Each structure stands twice: as C-alpha cells, then as structure tokens.
Structure 1
Amino acid sequence: MKRTIKKVAVIGSGIMGSAIACHFANIGVEVILLDIVPRELNEHEKKKGLSLENKTVRNRIVNEALKNALKSKPSPIYHQEFAKRIQTGNLEDDIELVNQVDWIIEVVVERLDIKKQVFDNIEKHRKPGTLITSNTSGIPIKFMNEGRSEDFQQHFCGTHFFNPPRYLRLFEIIPGPNTKPEVIAFLNEYGKKFLGKKSVIAKDTPAFIGNRIGIFSIMSLFHIVKEMDMTIEEVDKLTGPVIGRQKSATFRTVDVVGLDTLVHVANGLYENVPHDEQHELFKLPDFIKTMMENNWLGSKTGQGFYKKEKKKDGSSEIKSLDLNTLEYRDRKRASFATLELTKTIDRVADRFEVLIKGKDKAGEFYRKNFAALFAYVSNRIPEITDELYKIDDAMQAGFGWEHGPFQIWDAIGVEKGIKMMAEQGIQPANWVNEMLEAGYDSFYTVKDGNTYFYDIPNKKMQQVPGQDAFIILDNIRDAKAVFKNSGVIVEDLGDGILNVEFRSKMNSIGGDVLDGLNKAIDLAEKEYQGLVVANNGQNFSVGANIGMIFMMAVEQEYDELNMAIKYFQDTMMRMRYSSIPTVAAPHNMTLGGGCELSLHADKVVAHAETYIGLVEFGVGVIPGGGGSKEMTLRAADTYQKDDVELNRLREHFLTIGMAKVSTSAYEAYDLNILQPGKDIVVVNKDRQLAIAKKQALLMAENAYTQPIKRQDIKVLGKQALGAFYVGTDQMLAGNYISEHDKKIANKLAYVMAGGDLSAATKVSEQYLLDLEREAFLSLTGERKTLERLQHMLKKGKPLRN
C-alpha cells in the first residue's frame, strides 16, 4: 500500500514539539500543533477581562511556545513564511483534528502515565491506519504499547528526533512489540528522503543507540578528568575539532544542551541498565551533583562549566569552573605537544594514530578515552543493535562526530586498539577477536565505490544498505580521479558527468583551484557531458584565497593581482558559457568566491543548510569574481515596464553592501542568489551529489546549447549613481558606516550603475567585469582594506575601521 504524508499532528508544543512541527513545515507538510489548555489566567489576560473559555486564552500555551520557537536562534525553520503551514490548537477543543492527519507524533513530558493519558485521548479520534509515534528519549516503547488497540499497536513505534531537529540529522526508529514491518520500512525511508535524516533502526533498550553511547562517552570523560586531574579547557581542547568534533567540544556542549538534560538521561541509564559492565560509570561524580544543587545548568541558567561575567569597563569575559574548588577562575590556555604533531595532518582520520602515541598528558588521555569507548561499543552488540555501522551513524548524526567509534578504531587499527585496551586492563567483546581470527582486520572496507561492514552474525562483510541513492566521494576518489592538483580532484561520476572536488584549506579558491576548474571544463567539453562542483568538506567554500590577495597587495604587485582577479572572472564566465552544463552543489558556508561560483553555474542544487552570500565588504573590497556584475545583471532582468528600476537595483546593491548571508538555502531566493524555477534545494545532504549529477545529465540529454554572452544588460548610470551616493552620505552622517565603508560602497555603486553614464544604457557583461575588476584593484591599494584583510587572516572575523 502506498503511503504519503500530507498532514501531521504534533502533540506537545514544548521546545522539542515546536521544533519538530517547524521541521515538518520546512519540508512542505501541513502541521497541526496541539497542547494543553491553561488552568488559570495570566496577569495580562486578567487585565483584559478575558475568561478561561476565550479561544485565545485556551490556545495561549501552544501559541506562545510556537512564537518563542520561531524567534529562537538558530532558527528551527528554513523561512519564516513556512510557519504559515502550522495550525495551532488545544487538546480539548481540537483533538478531533487528528482524524485528518497521516501521522501523529507525541512529544509530551517524559512520564509514562501522562503519555498513556494522551494516547487514550488520541485513540478516541484517530482513524485506523494512521501512523502514531512517540518522541521519547528513553521510555521503553513496549510500556507505552500496553492497553492499546491492535491497530494502534501495529502502527505505533518510537521516532526519536535529536534536538534541534532541523540541524541534528539522527532519526532513531524504535519498533514496538507489534509494529508492522512495513511501517518501520516506511519511516526509515521517509526519514532519509523527506526529512533529510540519517535514519537508524534501534532496539527498544534504555536510551536507544545515540544517547546510550553518547552519554557513556561524556560520563567516561567526567571520570577521566578527575582521575587525571585535568582542567575543562584541556578536555575541550582535546575533544574538539582536532578529533572531528564540534568547536564546543565537551563541556561547552553540555552547557548549551543543559546539564539537567544530561543528568536526566544518565540517571535513567543508571537505574535501567543494572547489568551493564560500566554501570557505575553512569553514577554522577560529586562535582556534577554540586552543580545540580547550585542550579549551574549551563546557558539556560547563566552559568555551568563556563560563566560570562561583566567587567568594570562594561565588556564581558568568560570564566571557567575549577573542578577541584568549584569556583570560577580566569580561563587557562591549554596546549599539548602531541597536538602540535597533527597540525600538518588535514584528514581527521589520519590524526588518531598520532594522537594515541603521544608521550604527554594528551596521549595518555586519548589512550584511556578511546580504549574505554572501543570496549563499550563492542559490548553493546547485539544488545542495542546487531549492526556496528548503526552505532557509527548514530554518533555522527546525533552528536556531530565526524567519525563514529568503529571508524576511529579502524583508523587506529583493530589490533592496536585491542592492545591499547589491554594496557588499560580492559578487553573487547569476543566477536572482535573472532573477526580477526576469520581473516578480517577492519570493521569496514570499500569495494566498487560502496562501503561494506563486518556483519557479526554472518561473520562476513556485507554492503551497508541504502547507498544506491547517493555518491560517496571518499569511496571513489582514488579509483575515479581523472585529474588532481594541490587544490582539486576531478572525479568521473559515471554517465559522462565529472565532479570537481575542492581540496584546499577551508576549500578556499586560489590559483590551483581555478586551474583545476578550467582543466575540468576542458576535459568535460572534450570527452564528457556535464560538470558538477561538489565536495564533502565542512563548508562548500569560504571564498577566495585572501592570503594570496593580501600578499600581492602588500608587495604592490598590482599587475599580478589584476591578472589573478581576471583569471577568477574568466573562470566564472567559463562556468556560465562552456559547451557543457555546469551544476554547483553548495552546502553550509558558501561565501564570497564560493557564492560567485554558484551564481555562474547553469544550475544550483543547494543543500537546505546553505549559508550563502557575497561578504567581500568585510575584508574591504567588493565582489571581484563576477559577483558585482552578476547582481547588476540579475537586477536588470527583474525590471518591468513602468517599474521603479532603481528600487530593484537598490535591493541587489544592499545584498552586497550589507554582506547579507542567507540562514538557509530558501532564504537565498529572497536575496536573488538562488533563482526560482532554475535552482533547487535538497534536504538530505547524502543525496545532494547524486541529485546534482542527475540534473547535469538531464540538461545534457535535453540538447544543452552553449549560451551566448550577454550584451543587453540595462544599467542606470547617473540616476542610480547619484541616489547611491546620497544614501552613503546619509549612512555616514548617521554613524551607521565608517568612512572606509562609504568608499567601498561608492565603488560598488559605480560598478552597479554602469559608471558615470548620462542615461540608461545597454552594456555587456565584459564591460561590467572590467569596472568590477578596476574597483576591486583600487580598493586593495587602500591601507584600511589591508588592515581588514590582515585582521581576517589573523582573527577569522571582519574588522570595522
């Protein structure tokens, strides 16, 4: 039976419920969000003379919760307009609306008695066959199943979203005792395809997979910290980006999530896994108990492991908690010789072998930490899952680890990992030694572009399911490379489509990347059908290599700098005017030059989490790789008869002048960086490259014709230039911008007006590119621009001067 999801009901509008409702609205689903009716009036309602029967009062809880969610940052919704897809109501007046939906998601407080009351109410109105799931993070599904009808039980299971649902990709599906297999299969596929999740089917065990391993990892660290007398700064230094974790590492992450949340799950595990060999590890250390008693829960209470304090001069400083004295002190800088050895190792996976060999405290920490983790995850099979890859998937998607435990173990070496455990007095589960005895020396292997994992029950390698829908660059890079240099690798994706993968630091665009792009276009025009630009980096591209620009400008090598800018422009124009279709597949930060590349592709297949914009003002210049030209062109293409053309141009001018960056791919349409009807957005990052390839192939198969360069761009000349100059004068007079900001803005105005022309005129793209390059070059001769470039290189953030 074909099942579609057109409308869902979310029961419970707390932080999690509202965020789940927003994410369904993100993907175009209609949502009914319901919560309880207030039991008493608040002061505002009393003053207005309202009664408890008033509809506004009765929906107050749900409406305020949704309003707070929509105001929160980071936002749970891709675009504020999408909130119109959410209808609110209450569980007394509107519960019958659940008979209109295809899926009911319960997200109420984590108490079994309350959940059962909610299910009693839902069952009176739910139509047979409707999916019904609980977002519980730990209550066994079998307990919630009790007393329900046969149809309810067959269509009921757990669906555990991780908070925040928009950003964390883990979607655990926990079957109940009587859940139909087709229901689990549907939810598994729906989570991947529509919700953009990493769907993981878990067993009905305490905390399921993600929290079981994640909380163990954190609690293990808490005990190691005390054992090794380490500071929180040292631990956060060792457990952050160096091992492929988020910058907030361990203690800052706990502050953000909330210590009480962690303690709730840890206490639940201590109570519910008495036979776990690491049972005592889930017991709270004394310093955690004291923090809970003091209500030092993290960001929500203003202090946790870190605390922001105001100084006498009004500025703020961050203090750290001393775990021995439990008093806040000045932050201490953490440094380790072992970490210095990894600075030249770009791939995180290649660092682990170096880290565990460290002779200092860092090396000892990693050996203890990884040994405990490896032993624990090996012993959780088959308790929490039968397949080891699901543990890695859960930790990557739910906790933001670049590599899961078994992947880290593989990077170190399975036998080395066992030896490391032996040195700590622990050992892995028996199946690990059996795997080695059977002739398999790793948990994973790659064959013909697909990933295989060691299947423990069958004692052989099996292909990880679901890979047919996506292309994994890590798996094909060596076998399918047709060209490489220091900045890019060009891979053959099959079916006549090439991919250009940036490999430079932070995927910045310098001469080597531009050489690679041109080489890829040459190859594609001669022997292939299309070209995609995509990568698996943390960000698509942070923009042009400003270090190179800074050095040329400081040395006053203006001829070389002029040639470099022109080379960038010419390469972007080749993206637009080659004889083969080009597709850009941006994700995460796509700034400056990365945005310009996307602007010049025939089509953009953007991941929903794409933060894209022309941010060159921050380093004292204007977009010089065709971005200023392109925004002028796009403004001109929107001009309508009897339109106020200057207003259209001003919008595009402000997009650059205010360095606007979209907070999602959908917001990029508002900035005219993405174009409706041409560019598309995908929610599942894993499928982005495969979809981009299909789009390139589709254009090629539909008789793609090389475009003709534009000669018909309407520029407004003095009319626009005068208006922009007046505007920048006013902004400076009001202290909204600095003198240098005004200078940059006026240079941009000159380009986008088409120069000092006496009347509106039709010009070519090359004409605008020449103006753009001249303006960019002149700004690099300004001292304040050099200061901005230097500050960005040193501090990683813009300077206002």
Structure 2
Amino acid sequence: MKRVIRKVAVLGSGIMGSRIACHFANIGVEVLLLDIVPKELTPEEQSKGLDISNKNVRNRIVNAALESTLKSNPSAVFSKKVVSNISTGNFDDNMKDIASCDWVIEVVVERLDIKKLVYDQVEKFRTPGTLISSNTSGIPIHLMAEGRSEDFKAHFCGTHFFNPPRYLRLLEIIPTPETKPEIVDFLMHFGDKFLGKTTVLCKDTPAFIANRVGVYSIMALLHLVEKMDLSVEEVDKYTGPALGRPKSATFRTTDVVGLDTMINVAGGLFNNLPDDKAHKLFELPEYVKKMQENKWLGDKTKQGFYKKVKGADGKSEILALDLKTLEYKAQQKIKSSTLEATKLVENLRERMKVFAKGTDKAGEFFRTSFFGLFEYVSDRIPEISDELYRIDDAMRAGFGWELGPFEVWDSLGIKNAVEGMKKYGNEAASWVHEMLAAGHESFYKVENGIKKYYDIPSKSYKAVPGSEAFIILDNIRPTNTIWKNSGTTITDLGDGILNLEIHTKMNTIGGEVIQGLNKAIDLAEKDYRGLVIGNDGANFSAGANIGMIFMAAVEQDWDEINMAIRMFQNTMMRMRYSSIPVVAAAHNLTLGGGCELCLHADHVQTNAETYMGLVEFGVGLIPGGGGTKEFALRLSDEFKDGQIEQAALRDRFLTIGQAKVSTSGVEAAELGYLQKDKFSITMNRSRLIIDAKNKAIELAENGYTQPVKRKDIRVLGKQGMGIVYAGANSMFAGNFISEHDKKISEKLGYVLCGGNLSQPTLVSEQYLLDLEREVFLSLCGEKKTLERIQSILTKGKPLRN
C-alpha cells in the first residue's frame, strides 16, 4: 500500500508539540495543532465581555503556545511563510477533524491516564489505517496500546523526537509487538528522507536508547565530579569540542535543557531499573539534590551550574557554581597538558588516543568516564538494541557526539581498551571477549566503500542498513581519490561524477582551494560528465582566507591581492562557464567566498540547515569573488520591461550591505542567494552528497550545454547610485551606520549600478568583475577596514568603527 503524508494532527501544543508541528510545516505538510479548552476566562477576556464559547477563548492555550514557539531562538521554522501550513483548534471542537489526517501524533503530558483519555477520543474520529504515534520519552509504548482496537494497535508506534525537533536529528521509532512491520518500515524511511532525521529503531525499554545511555553518562559524570574533585569549568572543558561534543559540553547543556528534566529522566531510570549494574549511579548526588531544593534548575530559573550577573562596571559576567560550597564564583581558566596536546591533532579518532594517554587530570577523567561507558554500552546489548551501530547513531544524533561510544572504543583499539578497563574495575561484556577471541579486532570496518558493523548473533560483519543511500567521503576516499593537495581532495563518486572536497580550517578558500577547483574542472571536462563540490565536514565553507588578505594589505602588496582576487573571480567564471554541470552541496555555514561559489554553480543542492550569506561588509569589504557582480546580474534579470524597480535595487543592496545570513536553506532562496529552478533542498544531511551527484547526472543526461558569457546586464549607472547614496546618507544622518559604513555602502552601490555611467547601460560580466575588484582593492587600503579584519582574526568579533 502506498502511504502519503499530506496532513498531520499534533495533539498537545506544549514545547514539543508546537515544535513538532512547526517541523512538519517546514517540509510542506498541512498540520492541525490541538490542545485543551481553558477552564476559565482571563481577566482580559472578561473585560472584553467574552465567554467560554468564543473561539478565541477556546483556542487560547494552543494559539499562545504556537505563538511562543514562533518567537523562540533559534527559530523552529525554516521561514515565516511555512506558518500558514498550521491551523489550530481544541480537543472538544476539533478532534473530529483528525478524520482527514494521515498521521496523528500525541504529545500530551507524560501521564498514562491522560494519554488513554486522549486515545479514547482519537478512536472515535480517526480514520482506520492512518498512523497514530506517541512522542513519550518515559512511558512504555505497549502500555499505551492496551485496550485499543486491533486497527489502532496495528498502526500505533512510539515516535520520540528530540528537542528541538528541527535541529536535533534523532528520531527514535519504538514499535509494540502488535505494530505492523510495514508501518515501522514506513516511519523509518519517512523520518530519514522527509524529516531529515537519523531514525533509530528501539526496543520498548526504559528511556529507549539515547536517553538511557546519555543520562547514564551524565549521572556517572555527576558522581565522578565528587570522586575526582572536579570543578564545573573543568568538566565542561574536558567534555566540549576537544572531545567531539557540543560547545555547551555537559553542565551548560544541562542548564539549557533544565536540571529538572535530567532529574526526572534519571529518577525514572532509578525506579524502573532495579537490576541495572549502574543502578546507584541514577541516584542524585547530594549537591544536585540541594540544587533541586533551591530551584537552581538552569536557564529557566536564571541560575543552575552557571549564573549570569552584572558586575560593578555594569558588564555581564557568567559565574560558575562551586559544587562543594554551592556558591557562585568567577570562572577559572583551565590548564591541561593533555588538552594542549589535543589541539595539535585534527583527526578526532587520533585525538581520542591522546586523551587516553594523558598523564594529568584530563587524561584520568577520560579513562575513568569512558571505561565505565564502554562497560555500560556493551552490557546493554541485546537489552536495548541487538545492533551496536544503533547505539552510536542515537548518541550522535540525539546528544551531538561526533563519535558514538563504540566508535570511540574502536579508535583506542578494542583490545587495548579492554585491558585498560580491567585496571579501572570495569569489565566488557562477554560478547566483546568472544569477538576478540575469534580474531575480530574492530566494531566497524569499511569494505569497498561500505561501512560494516560487527553483528553479534552471526559473529560476522554486516553492512549498516541504509548506508547504500548515502555517500560517505571518509569511506570512499582511501580507494577513490584521484588527486589532492593540502586543502582539497578530488574523489571519483562513480557514474562519471567527480567530487571536490575542501578540507582547510573552517573550509576557508585560499590558493590551494582555487588550485583544486581548477584541477577538478580540468579532470571533469576531459574524462567525466559532472562535478560536485561537497564535503562531510561541519561546514560547507566559512569564506575566503581573510588572514592572507590582511597580511598582504599590511605589507601594501596590492599586486598580490589583485592577483588573488582576479584568480578567485576567474575560477568562479570558469566554473560557471565550464562544459560540464557543477553542483554545489551546501550545508551549515556557507559564507562569503563559499556563498559566491554557490552563486556560480549550475545547481545548489542545499541542506535544509544552510546558513548562507555574503558577509564581507562586516569586515569592511564588498564581495570580491564575483558575488557583487552576480547580484548586479540577477538585479538586471529582475527588471521588467526595461522599467527601473527601486525596490529590487534596495533589496539586493541591503542583502549585501546588511550582511544578511539565511537561517535555513529555504530562507537562502528568499534572500536571493538561491535561484528558482537552480536549487533543491535535502532534508537529511547524510543524503546531501548523493543527492548532489544525482542532480549532476540529471543535468548531464538532459543535454547540458556550456553557457555563453553574459554581455546584456542592464545597470542603472548614476540613476541607481543616486538612490543608494541618498539611502546611505539618510542612515548615516540617523546614526544607524558609521562614516566607514557609509563609504562601503557607496562603493557597493557603485559596483551594483555599473559605475559612473550617465544612463542605464548594457554591460558584460567582465566589466562588472573589474569594477568589483577595483573597489575591493581600494577598501583593502582603508585603515578602518584593516581594523575590522584584525578584530575578526584576533577576537572573532565584528568591529563597528
């Protein structure tokens, strides 16, 4: 049976319900969001003479919850426009409307009795055969299905989204014995491809997979703090980016999520897992109990492990909690020889070995915490999962770990780690010893570009299911690399398509990247039929290497800057006018030069989470790699019947002049960075490279022909510059921009309008590129521009001077 999701009902509009509703709206699904009817009027409603029958009153709870979610930062929606996909209502008046929905998702309060009352109503109105699921994180799924009809049970499943649903990629799928297998398969596929999730099949055990392992890890750490006399600052330094974890590390994350949330989940595990070897670790340490009593629950109560205060000078300062005295104090800088050593190691797996060999507190912390974690996760098979890769998937997608526990274990060498564990009183599960005895020395291995995991029941390696739908560059690079330099690697993706991977720091674009781009085009034009530019790193590209520009400008080596910018421009033009289709696979930060690269690609296959923008204005420059030229070209194409549209000029100018960065791939199109019919959105980041490859194949097979360079770009000359200058003067007079901002604005307008032309004129791309480069060079000679660049390079902060 073909199943299509056109309309979804979300029952419960709290934080999770509203955000789940927003994420379905993001992908274009119609959403019905329902909640309870208020029991009484507010004073404001009474003053207006309203009664409980009024629709606005009856929908007050759901509308207020949705409004609150739409104000949240970061945003729950890709664009304000998607909000129109959501309609609201209440359980009493609108439960009947779920009859038209293809999927009903229950997200009400975590009480079984209340959920069952809601399901009684769902049974009355739900159309047989439609999906029904619960987002519970703490109630056994099978208990919720008790007493329901056979059709309800067959189509019922747990679908546990992680908060916030837009950004955290984990979706746990928890079937009951009565759930039809095809329903499970559908949810796994839909969550992956359409919702952009890492879907993990879970058993119906307490806290499922991610929270079971994640909360164990946090609770073990909370106890380890006392044992090793660790400070809040030390723990967050040890468990942050150096370890491949989010910047918020452990205690900052707990403050954001809420200490009460962690306490509730830990309490549930303590009560429901009396036979767990780690049972005592789920009991709260005394200092956490006191924090709970004091209601120091984190951001929601304005203090937790950290507290933001204002000093005597009026400046804000974030204090850290002393876990022994429970007093807040100024944060201490953490010094560690182990951490210093890890800074020299880019590869995370190699960095794990440095941690494990550390001779200071950080090394001891690593061994104590990870050896305990290795024991715990190995003991959880087959209790929470039959396959080890599901545990790694859940921890990466749900908790933001770059490496799951079995992947970390692999990086240390299983045998070495098992021997180390014994010294710390930890013992790996018997199946690990059996695996080693049989000569298998890793949990994962790659064969012919396919990632395989050790399957315990068969005692052999099997392909990770679904991996054939992805292209993981790490897996194919060893065998498919055909050229590389210090900043790029060219890989054969198969089917006549090459991939250029940038792997400089933050994937910035310098001379080595320009060389790689030209080499990739050379190779593709000669022997292949298309080129993808993409990577598996954290970002597509944070832009051009401004450090190089700064050094040359300080030395006043204008010829070198001119040559570098000309080379960048020429490479962008060569890419645009090559004989093969070029597809950029954009994701996360796609800024400055990275954005300009996308502007010149034939197609941009963009991940939904793409933050794209021309941000050069922030460092006192204008886009110099063809970005300003490209906006002038697109502006020309927007003029209708030769008429000057001031609004179009203003919008294009402000996008660059305000250094606007999209908050999603959808918004990148709204800002003009992506063009209609020349971009596609991939929801699941893991599918991005293969989707880009398929697009390159499609363009080639549809008869791609080499474009002709444009010579018909209509620019407005002085007529347009007058509009720009008037706007810049007005903003300066109102103290909205500085004098240097005004100067940059005028120079930006000069290029967008084609310079000092007496009337609207048709010009070529090269004409505009020359203007762009001329202005870029002139701004490099400005003292205030150099001050802005220096601020970014040394402090990481923009300077307004």
Q: Give the structure-1-normalised TM-score.
A: 0.99
Distance in structure 2 (CA, Å) of the matches to 1:784 and 1:110: 57
Give the structure 1 partner of residue 167 of structure 2: 167
Q: 3-state DSSP class of the match of 2:160?
A: strand
Q: Say whether residues 1:686 and 2:694 are aligned partners.
A: no
Distance in structure 2 (CA, Å) of the matches to 1:116 and 1:570: 65
CA-to-aligned-CA distance 1:636-666 (integer Å, 9 cap, x gap): 1111126442321121111000000000010
Residue type of the alignment partner of 1:721: M
Give the structure 2 partner of residue 517 of structure 1: 517
Q: CA deviation at 1:707?
A: 0.5
Residue type of the alignment partner of 1:484: K
Percent identity over paired residues = 63
Give the structure 2 partner of residue 713 of structure 1: 713
Give 1:747-786 correspondences, 5 Å limit. 747-786=747-786
Give the structure 1 partner of residue 269 of structure 2: 269
Judge conservation of contact 1:470–1:686 (CA < 8 Å) in 2: yes
Give 1:89-238 correspondences, 5 Å limit. 89-238=89-238
Judge conservation of contact 1:531–1:583 (CA < 8 Å) in 2: yes
Give the structure 2 partner of residue 428 of structure 1: 428
Residue type of the alignment partner of 1:800: R
Distance in structure 2 (CA, Å) of the matches to 1:332 and 1:541: 33
Residue type of the alignment partner of 2:396: Q
Residue type of the alignment partner of 2:263: V
Judge conservation of contact 1:614–1:623 (CA < 8 Å) in 2: yes
Give the structure 1 partner of residue 50 of structure 2: 50
Residue type of the alignment partner of 1:473: L
Give the structure 2 partner of residue 65 of structure 1: 65
Residue type of the alignment partner of 2:649: L
Give the structure 1 partner of residue 313 of structure 2: 313
Distance in structure 1 (CA, Å) of the matches to 2:472 and 2:303: 42
Give the structure 2 partner of residue 475 of structure 1: 475
Distance in structure 2 (CA, Å) of the matches to 1:644 and 1:76: 37
Distance in structure 1 (CA, Å) of the matches to 2:643 and 2:255: 52
CA-to-aligned-CA distance 1:687-724 (integer Å, 9 cap, x gap): 11111001111111112111111101001000111221
Distance in structure 1 (CA, Å) of the matches to 2:381 and 2:647: 63
Q: 3-state DSSP class of the match of 1:673?
A: coil
Distance in structure 2 (CA, Å) of the matches to 1:610 and 1:795: 25
Give the structure 1 partner of residue 730 of structure 2: 730
Distance in structure 1 (CA, Å) of the matches to 2:703 and 2:597: 23
Distance in structure 2 (CA, Å) of the matches to 1:513 and 1:340: 29
Q: 3-state DSSP class of the match of 2:28?
A: coil
Residue type of the alignment partner of 1:41: L
Residue type of the alignment partner of 1:28: G
CA-to-aligned-CA distance 1:78-130 (integer Å, 9 cap, x gap): 11111111110000011111111111100000111111111111111111111
Give the structure 2 partner of residue 88 of structure 1: 88
Distance in structure 2 (CA, Å) of the matches to 1:20 and 1:343: 38
CA-to-aligned-CA distance 1:199-257 (integer Å, 9 cap, x gap): 10100000000100010111111111111111111111111111111111111111111
Judge conservation of contact 1:321–1:328 (CA < 8 Å) in 2: yes
Judge conservation of contact 1:717–1:753 (CA < 8 Å) in 2: yes
Give 1:312-391 correspondences, 5 Å limit. 312-391=312-391
Distance in structure 1 (CA, Å) of the matches to 2:471 and 2:547: 33
Q: CA deviation at 1:416?
A: 1.4
Distance in structure 2 (CA, Å) of the matches to 1:348 and 1:619: 31
Q: 3-state DSSP class of the match of 1:766?
A: helix
Give 1:279-678 correspondences, 5 Å limit. 279-641=279-641, 643-678=643-678
Aligned length: 801
Q: CA deviation at 1:311?
A: 2.3
Residue type of the alignment partner of 1:711: K
Residue type of the alignment partner of 1:125: F
Distance in structure 2 (CA, Å) of the matches to 1:62 and 1:576: 49
Q: 3-state DSSP class of the match of 2:62?
A: helix
Distance in structure 2 (CA, Å) of the matches to 1:536 and 1:90: 44
Write out the 4+ residue segments of structure 1 that deviate beyond 3 Å after TM superposition. Answer: none
Unaligned runs of 5+ in 2: none
Distance in structure 2 (CA, Å) of the matches to 1:798 and 1:580: 39
Distance in structure 1 (CA, Å) of the matches to 2:793 and 2:33: 47
Q: CA deviation at 1:375?
A: 0.5
Residue type of the alignment partner of 1:68: S
Distance in structure 2 (CA, Å) of the matches to 1:43 and 1:413: 66
Q: 3-state DSSP class of the match of 1:585?
A: strand
Distance in structure 2 (CA, Å) of the matches to 1:644 and 1:265: 61
Distance in structure 2 (CA, Å) of the matches to 1:408 and 1:58: 52
Q: CA deviation at 1:525?
A: 0.5
CA-to-aligned-CA distance 1:316-372 (integer Å, 9 cap, x gap): 111111111111111111121011112121111110001110111011000001101
Judge conservation of contact 1:493–1:499 (CA < 8 Å) in 2: yes
CA-to-aligned-CA distance 1:253-293 (integer Å, 9 cap, x gap): 11111111111100000000111100000001111111111
Q: Say whether residues 1:240 and 2:240 are aligned partners.
A: yes
Give the structure 2 partner of residue 26 of structure 1: 26
Q: 3-state DSSP class of the match of 1:515?
A: helix
Q: 3-state DSSP class of the match of 1:94?
A: helix
Residue type of the alignment partner of 2:321: L
- Pairwise CA RMSD: 0.8
Distance in structure 2 (CA, Å) of the matches to 1:222 and 1:472: 36
Judge conservation of contact 1:725–1:746 (CA < 8 Å) in 2: yes
CA-to-aligned-CA distance 1:563-600 (integer Å, 9 cap, x gap): 00111111111110111100001100100000000000
Distance in structure 1 (CA, Å) of the matches to 2:426 and 2:349: 24
Judge conservation of contact 1:105–1:135 (CA < 8 Å) in 2: yes
Give the structure 1 partner of residue 75 of structure 2: 75
Q: CA deviation at 1:435?
A: 0.5
Distance in structure 2 (CA, Å) of the matches to 1:571 and 1:293: 62
Distance in structure 2 (CA, Å) of the matches to 1:51 and 1:519: 72
Distance in structure 2 (CA, Å) of the matches to 1:420 and 1:89: 58
Judge conservation of contact 1:636–1:649 (CA < 8 Å) in 2: no
Distance in structure 2 (CA, Å) of the matches to 1:216 and 1:440: 28
Q: CA deviation at 1:177?
A: 2.5
Q: CA deviation at 1:315?
A: 2.0
Distance in structure 1 (CA, Å) of the matches to 2:617 and 2:314: 29
Indicate the larger mover: 382-391 or 682-691: 682-691
